[in-house]
Chains A and B, each alone.
Chain A
Amino acid sequence: MGRWFSAIAAGIAVLLRLLCAPVSAQDQTIIVASTTSTQDSGLFDYLLPIVRDKTGVDVKVLAQGTGQALDTARRGDVDVVFVHAKSAEEKFLAEGFGVKRYPVMYNDFVLIGPKNDPAGIRGLDVIASLQTIEKQAAPFISRGDRSGTHIAELALWKDAGIDVTKDRGSWYKEIGQGMGAALNVASASNAYVLADRGTWLAFKNRGDLAILVEGDKRLFNQYGVMLVNPAKHPTVRKEAGQRFIDWLVSPEGQKAIAGYKIGGQQLFYPNANDPGA
């Protein structure tokens, strides 16, 4: 039996070697931790072939919420993070896990709800809308996953003077999943939900939902990109990672981002040249 087991162990080792060989051989391949909103909106499916063409870098995208993406990067498991929660990104930088943050693009959040709008928020600003939803105890779906959208949602509730961690009733449901999943739940239960515009535009299972509140400047949603600090994690593929970042913020990359449209509508607005973003 002992011989068997050592033979099996050797076999597994060989197999694992074989399977990893192509990865270590390709220094031009990087893993980017990004958000469900960038994946579910279809941006990466559009952008990555262009990136490979122009820079030779093969990008593998891991779609997680912003909080999880930053944690994955803290562990050194990815080379680049591309997320949308400036406060969390700045914390990541301050902890020394990132090299530098580059603003890339923005879009905006929209407040989605049933077309017949039972709580009556259409036309209000976002703060008044949330206060109305809370007062009417209208069903509201929260991502509840520390994603960029969840962080933005919590900040809006705070601005509205409502402590959802304490005051929430059964009308407020945290589902702990991605943007698309939250929209699916909202669509099935005719609830209100905060979404990024890109995912909403790409989303197919809308049911009776529609955009009710938009255009409020508090709904601004900025994306940033950072190389994971090679000083913390020497395995980071810094050369290819930096090449990807440099291209994203270059005039060419910015133009490509602006060119992504669904049904004629632009989803993301490049703003790498805005130092304050």
Chain B
Amino acid sequence: MNDFTQAIQLAATLIGRFDPELRGIIALSLGVSLTASALAFIIGSPLGLALAIGRFPGRQALIVTANALLGLPPVVVGLGVYLLLSRSGPLGSLGILFTPAAMILAQAILGIPIVVALVHRMTVDLWATYGEALLVDGASHIRAAASLMNIGREGLVVAFLAAFGRAIAEVGAILIVGGNIRGYTRTMTTAIALETSKGELSLALALGIILIALSMTVSAFSHMFGRTLRH
């Protein structure tokens, strides 16, 4: 238990000191993961909606695929993105390997199936209930989809949060495509991995406590936002 009390004290000290390096790491973690989950949301939610209300060939296969990809291993996504962005890879000329942009790309890929599967799951029942009513006024499918998103907006917040949770917690993908470069691509999770490997277990755990507090804060804000939407 000594390790834990030490870590909690250290976490408090770190936050109290408002260490500039720690601030940078927190800002990068939040910036990368929020951007990635926003991207995943922008790309994934129309897809999820389309799967819920559209009727087209291959639809079932896409639903199964999205659900299967929920467990996409971050380290494999990291490796795939690495090979794409490497100077010797097809997108090497972009020159974004080992930059925050590469990390956003990898985390967005991890988030997309989550958003697709959740948005589909949450809207498919709503569509069964309200679909005909929404279409009966002669509204187009796109119009009806917009109304459906409005009805299911709280579910959309949950989908976004799930993607964010996945992004902020993962280390496998960003370690490979970001490289854990100090002051540039070092995030909370990669810093924790590094401090663990240096044997600085209390510091690693303290960073972990701060990370959990951060993601709880984001979750609380989103919930408040969801409540405002409902009223």
Please list the residues of chain A having a beta carbon within 8 angstroms of any beta carbon in chain B. 1, 4, 8, 11-12, 15-16, 19-20, 23-24, 31, 36, 39-40, 44-45, 60-63, 75-77, 177-181, 183-184, 187, 202-206, 233, 235
Q: A36 near B197 (CB under 8 angstroms)?
A: yes
Q: A184 near B197 (CB under 8 angstroms)?
A: yes
A1 touching B142 in the complex, CB below 8 Å, given contacts A19-B101, A235-B87? yes
Residues of B within 8 A of A63 (CB): 180
A76 to B97, CA, bound (A): 11
Residues of B within 8 A of A61 (CB): 181-182
A20 touching B199 in the complex, CB below 8 Å, given contacts A1-B142, A8-B42, A31-B181? no
Q: A184 near B181 (CB under 8 angstroms)?
A: no
Residues of A within 8 A of B194 (CB): 39
Q: B101 near A60 (CB under 8 angstroms)?
A: no
Taking A20-B94, A61-B182, A62-B98 as given, write out 16 further A-B residue pairs in contact, using a Cβ cutoff of 8 Å, ordered by the A residue number.
Answer: A1-B46, A8-B42, A12-B39, A16-B96, A16-B105, A23-B95, A44-B182, A60-B179, A60-B181, A60-B182, A75-B86, A76-B86, A76-B88, A77-B86, A77-B97, A184-B196
The chain A residue with its CB closest to the CB of B93 is: A235
Q: B98 near A31 (CB under 8 angstroms)?
A: yes
* Distance (whole angstroms) from the CB of A48 to the closest CB of chain B: 8
Residues of B within 8 A of A62 (CB): 98, 179-181
The chain A residue with its CB closest to the CB of B199 is: A205
Does B200 reach chain A (CB closer than 8 Å)? yes
Q: B35 near A15 (CB under 8 angstroms)?
A: yes
The chain A residue with its CB closest to the CB of B179 is: A62
* Residue among B50, B99, B200 making CB contact with A19, cutoff 8 Å: B99
Q: A180 near B198 (CB under 8 angstroms)?
A: yes
* Residue among B43, B197, B199 making CB contact with A8, cutoff 8 Å: B43
**A-B pairs with beta carbons under 8 Å apart, 23 shown:** A8-B42, A8-B43, A11-B42, A16-B94, A19-B96, A19-B101, A20-B94, A20-B99, A23-B99, A60-B184, A61-B181, A62-B179, A75-B89, A76-B88, A76-B92, A177-B197, A178-B197, A180-B197, A184-B197, A184-B199, A203-B198, A204-B198, A204-B200
